Amino acid sequence: MDPLEIAAGLEAHGITDRTAARFRHRDVFSLAEELYARSPREQVPAAAPTPVPAGPSAFRGFGCALLPGALAFGAAAAGQAWAGPAAVAATVAALVWPGRAAGGRLPSLAHLLAAAAVGWAAYRHGTPLAVGLALAVAPGHLVATAFAAGARARLDGSRALEDFADRTRPLLIAAVAVFTGAAAGAAALAGTPLPVAVPFALLLFLTRLLLRHGAHRGPVCAALALALIPVPAAVLAAAAGLLVHAVLALSRASAHARP
């Protein structure tokens, strides 16, 4: 562990800068540095580091993110009857993957609700919607990875929890804006109406972010359940509500601690 990990853990347990001031520290980061200095650590010989190239790993991750769109778009272009179900399955599988990486658990209620919502939307609006959502997986992966790296860099450079939150919220809004544009492009490529596809893609993108960063799953499940209501404004309301929750949850330092 390092002081940043301790600071994130303190915040996750409700320790604020005001609480740290009671211990004569200017903020949680200063308190974490003292805790780190006081913690006993065994002096073990440093093992020779094994070089792990980041490039191939990143390419493999992006390659996996390309599979849902490629599978769905290829099946739809070939006129296969199973194109819609394949797009639904591939899109939901892309949500399960980062969720398993974060918690190491099997698909939870949030994933089951996502599968139901995507399947119901594809049934109501047709295969092009499912294909558009599958095509949005790859840009969603890139934007989510860039957001995680940017938030981690801001955590490294912050000296107070409020400072970190103020620097992270604009990053999240920018990530949402970039993904929204990419989702609109994916919907246009699939030939599905933007007002239907973009809010649904944004809902799934926010679900991915929140699951990956270990946020509480209750609001995620509530938003996905709301998206099951067969009312045009339901998905838009679900995405807007989940965005508000994401701004609050993902501006916390504890959401960006190293796994």
Label each residue of 61-120 as H, E or C. Answer: HHHHHHHHHHHHHHHHHCCCCCHHHHHHHHHHHHHHHHHHHHHCCCCCHHHHHHHHHHHH
Residue 212 and residue 98: Cα distance in Å, rounded?
A: 5
- Residues with Cβ within 8 Å of residue 47, at least 6 apart in sequence: none
Average pLDDT over residues 192-197: 92
Q: Are residues 11 and 100 in the same domain?
A: no
Which of 25 and 218 is assigned the larger pLDDT? Answer: 218
Helix count (H) and strand count (E) of the chain? Answer: 12, 0
- Residues 107-153 have pLDDT tens digits of 578 888 998 998 898 898 888 988 888 888 889 989 999 999 999 88
Residues 146 and 247 in one domain: yes
The pLDDT, as a whole number, for residue 213 is: 86
Report yes or no on 50 lying in a domain. Answer: no
Average pLDDT, the chain: 79
Of 155, 223, 116, 159, whose CA–CA distance to 29 is shortest? Answer: 159
Q: Are residues 108 and 202 in the same domain?
A: yes
Q: Which two tokens stand for residue 49?
A: 């580091």
Give pLDDT, residue 156: 76
Q: What pLDDT score does 234 carry?
A: 94
In which band, very low, low, confident or very high, does the pLDDT at 195 lie, cut at 50, 70 and 90?
A: very high
On whether both 133 and 215 belong to a single domain, the answer is: yes
Specify if 48 maps to a domain: no
Shared domain check, 180 and 235: yes
Same domain, 171 and 87: yes
Domain contains 191: yes
* Domain identity same for 221 and 250: yes
Do 202 and 229 sit in the same domain of this protein? yes
The tally of domains found in the chain comes to 2
What is the structure's pLDDT at 59?
52
Site of tokens 């109406």: 193
SS3 content of the chain, % helix, strand, coil (to 5): 75, 0, 25
User: Token pair of 235, please?
Assistant: 């998905």
Structural domain containing residue 87: 55-256
88-92, 159-163, 188-192: segment of lowest average pLDDT: 159-163
**17 and 136 in one domain?**
no
